[in-house]
Amino acid sequence: MDQVVFLSDDWIAALDEAAMGRTFATGTNGFLFIREVTNVARIAFTFEGGRLHVRRAADDLMGATLVSDYQTAAGLAVGQLRVQDCFETGSLRLRGPVRELVEHKELIRSLDDVFGEVRSRTVFDRSA
């Protein structure tokens, strides 16, 4: 399997492809959250019709957003950091309609399983 560089277009496409084979609860329709890595990438996770679509987010796209720097994002991606610890230290922040993230926290947590294969072939390159 080919390696993909963290936060690159190929990595985002791999996440989208991994999600294609999955069906999510219809109660998730219209749910959108954004993962923003400051000065590097904004990635939109959109649930529609029981499906998840992952794409690069436009700068003006608004939604519940998880924000961190690259180092924190990479640490979370490989399991070296815990989300709760990052919130407590302020290295991971929330912006926008936070209630939506709370309401869908189990769904967001389930994405670890969805994206496990992509994570196993992810490489990290700060210039991504």
Q: Which domain holds residue 65?
A: 4-119
Q: If DSSP codes are grouped into helix, strand and coil, which group holds residue 48?
A: strand
Please indicate, yes or no, if residue 23 is contained in any of the structural domains: yes
Q: Is residue 127 part of a domain?
A: no
Q: Is 77 helix (H, G, I), strand (E, B) or coil?
A: helix
Between 29 and 89, name the one with better pLDDT: 89
CATH code (residue 82): 3.30.1050.10
CA gyration radius, the chain: 14
Number of neighbours of residue 98 by Cβ within 10 angstroms: 12
Q: What is the pLDDT of residues 16-47, one digit of tens each?
A: 999 998 988 767 788 999 999 999 999 999 99
Q: How many domains does the chain have?
A: 1
Cα separation, 69 vs 71, in Å, equals: 6
Q: What integer is the mean pLDDT of 103-114? A: 88
Percentage of residues of the chain with pLDDT beyond 90: 74
- Residue 98 to residue 62: CA distance in whole angstroms: 12
Start-to-end Cα distance in the chain: 20
> Residue 66: inside a domain, yes or no?
yes
